[in-house]
Amino acid sequence: MILYEAIKYKYPTAEPQKDFELRNDGDGSYINEWYLDVPKPTVEELKKWWEESKANQMYQPPLPLDYLAQEVAKEKLMRKQLEHQCDHLTKELKALKSEILFIKGGSET
């Protein structure tokens, strides 16, 4: 049984690391954390969902690679936004420094 696919079959909008966390310590995978507003599924429920997902040919679980690509895209966007904010703050700090030096009667170096 692949827990990720069983959970995504039942809760297709659930996001790993946000809504649930899976873990494998060498003795098999298990749900380490469950953040959805529904009861944490039992092993029996997970097995049932897994079997249903295999029987339902129309269901295609999202590939973990697709999920990672989305996360990388989000991170790139956040990084670009932070770089923009950093540039803006740097300009503001230079302007403040110039004003302070002007008020003190000094010159910018």
pLDDT computed for residue 61 by the predictor: 61
Is the whole model's pTM more than 0.85, yes or no?
no
Q: For the chain of 109 residues, list the mean pLDDT of each consecutive stretch of 10.
A: 89 91 90 95 94 75 71 87 93 93 75
Are 6 and 49 a contacting pair, CB within 8 Å? yes
Token pair in block for residue 38: 């529904």
Instruction: Tell me the three-class secondary structure of 87-102, residue by residue.
Output: HHHHHHHHHHHHHHHH
The CATH number corresponding to 3-62 among 3.40.50.300, 3.40.50.2300, 3.30.56.60, 3.80.10.10 equals 3.30.56.60
pLDDT computed for residue 55 by the predictor: 83
